[in-house]
Homo-oligomer: A and B are copies of this chain.
Amino acid sequence: MLRKVKEVAELTGISIRTLHHYDRIGLLSPEQVTEAGYRQYSDRDLETLQQILFFRELGFQLKRIGEILKSPEFDREEALLLQREALLEKRARLDRMIGTLEKTIQDAKGEIEMTDKEKFEGFDFTNNPYEDEARRRWGDEAVDRSNQALANMGPEGQKQTGEQMEALFRKLAAMRNQDPDSEEVQQAIGEWHAFLNSMGHTYSPEAFKGLGQLYIQDERFTRNMDKFGDGFARFMAEAMGIRSDRLQG
């Protein structure tokens, strides 16, 4: 089912301009566009939009939201759980503020005395606390750089890159029961290495091997990779290790 801007705006309570804006900055581009250029939002788009709004409510910048959503480690279910935690924390903060307010009311009536510090409890919101957690989960500097490279190529390039990557993964996944040391596999892994390098990463052999290890050490990576096929993460880790060793002699 496809929806036009107005419908989405009414459904979600955000403005049409906001949808335009999110499209422009590449945060949420509708899955389809008509001949005439009318945006058509799919159900998947709505899901993404919901994610965006949750993150926005938590005080994330749109740029950061985009990075998170596009991060290879991103996992929707995990995000939802983390967001729940964060929202609960936000509610706790709000409760502290309400407490402060109630104390202030009594203070104004002269019923109690408040210290200056107490008068501002709950306000301290120093550069959102959830960011730390989010960074731990979905973004270290390496990922940031990768996203930077993606961002630099604009929306069209991004889409292409994403497709390219997926195609490569599918190709590799199809080989996951072969010997990772075989020429065919090593050839494909070379392509993967080249692809990463082309994105501005410049992975040294060691780093390339390390990345492979990450695929099996970090279960979030593992889960995501294994969507391409059971044991794909492990297969990649092995193949990447072999390539690294070969390159280093």
**In the bound complex, do residue B90 and residue A102 qualify as a contact, i.e. CB atoms below 8 Å apart?**
no
> How would residues 55 to 84 of chain A score, 1 for a CB under 8 Å from any chain B CB and 0 otherwise?
001000000000000000000110011011
**In the bound complex, do residue A94 and residue B101 qualify as a contact, i.e. CB atoms below 8 Å apart?**
no
Least Cβ–Cβ distance between A83 and chain B, in angstroms: 6
Q: Which residue of B lies closest to A95 (CB)?
A: B91
Which residues of chain B are within 8 angstroms of A108 by Cβ–Cβ distance? 76-77, 80
Least Cβ–Cβ distance between A67 and chain B, in angstroms: 21
Q: Which residue of B lies closest to A90 (CB)?
A: B94
Which residues of chain B are within 8 angstroms of A102 by Cβ–Cβ distance? 84
Q: Do most interface residues of chain A lie in helix, strand or loop, or is the interface mixed?
A: helix
Q: Which of B80, B91, B109 interacts with A91 by CB under 8 Å?
A: B91
> How would residues 12 to 53 of chain A score, 1 for a CB under 8 Å from any chain B CB and 0 otherwise?
111000000000000000000000000000010011001001
> How would residues 106 to 141 of chain A score, 1 for a CB under 8 Å from any chain B CB and 0 otherwise?
001100000011011001111000000000000000
Query: How many copies of the shown chain assemble into the complex?
Result: 2
Report the separation of the CA atoms of residues A84 and B84 in the bound assembly, to the nearest whole angstrom: 24
Q: Which residue of B lies closest to A91 (CB)?
A: B94
Report the separation of the CA atoms of residues A120 and B197 in the bound assembly, to the nearest whole angstrom: 40
Report the separation of the CA atoms of residues A93 and B241 in the bound assembly, to the nearest whole angstrom: 51
**In the bound complex, do residue A98 and residue B84 qualify as a contact, i.e. CB atoms below 8 Å apart?**
yes
Q: Does A247 contact B (CB under 8 A)?
A: no
* A interface residues, tally (CB under 8 Å): 39
Contact status of A53 and B105, CB under 8 A, knowing A13-B126, A94-B87, A97-B87: no
Q: Which residue of B lies closest to A106 (CB)?
A: B80
Q: Does A11 contact B (CB under 8 A)?
A: yes
Q: Does A224 contact B (CB under 8 A)?
A: no
Q: Which residue numbers of A lie inside 8 Å of B, CB to CB?
A: 11-14, 43, 46-47, 50, 53-54, 57, 76-77, 80-81, 83-84, 87-88, 90-91, 94-95, 97-98, 101-102, 104-105, 108-109, 116-117, 119-120, 123-126
26 A-B contact pairs sorted by A residue (CB < 8 Å): A11-B116, A11-B117, A12-B123, A12-B124, A13-B120, A13-B123, A13-B125, A13-B126, A46-B116, A46-B119, A47-B119, A50-B119, A50-B120, A54-B97, A57-B97, A77-B105, A77-B108, A80-B105, A80-B108, A83-B101, A84-B98, A84-B101, A87-B98, A90-B94, A91-B95, A94-B94
